[in-house]
Structure formats: C-alpha cells, structure tokens
Amino acid sequence: MTGRRIKELAAILTIGDGVIAILSPRGHALLWRLGPARAPADWFAARPNLLRLIGAVQIAWGVWLALQQHKG
C-alpha cells in the first residue's frame, strides 16, 4: 500500500507541475534559475510553447500513473 501511495503522490506532484508549466511557462522556468540550473532555466524560459507541451505530457503521464494505483 505504501508504494501505491508514493506513486500517487508523485502523480499529483507531476500533474501540478504540468499545470503550472502550461499556465505560466516563463515564470515557472525562471523560478528554478539558480546554480547549475541557470542555463536550462533560461533555455526553457525562451521557449514557452515547448514548456507548455512538456507540461501537457506531464499531466497526461501523471493522470495515467494515478489511475494505475486504483486498478484492481
């Protein structure tokens, strides 16, 4: 049961991250602009539509993962 809860928690976090990436891609990328993540954050901030696409994939994967925990 603990493993399923952890997987569902990961799904919830992934879905939430995907929603934020869709709604505010530039702000979301720049929030993580620190240390070694500075260059990737700038790269993603300059490509908001790519980050929105990644967000949509995150949401789809998160929903799929969450639903797997409720089978059976």
Tell if the pTM clears 0.85, that is, is over it.
yes
Name the domain count of the chain: 1
17, two tokens: 């991250």
How many whole angstroms from its chain centre is CA 46? 18
pLDDT at 72 over 80: no
Instruction: List the helix and strand counts (H, then E) for the chain.
Output: 4, 0
Q: Is the pLDDT of residue 1 over 80?
A: no
Structure tokens at 33: 């602009």
- 48-68 and 2-23 helices cross at what angle (nearest 10)? 160
pLDDT tens, residue by residue, 17-57: 999 999 999 999 999 999 999 999 999 999 999 999 999 99
For residue range 47-68, list pLDDT tens digits in order.
Answer: 999 999 999 999 999 999 999 9
- Domain containing 18 equals 2-68
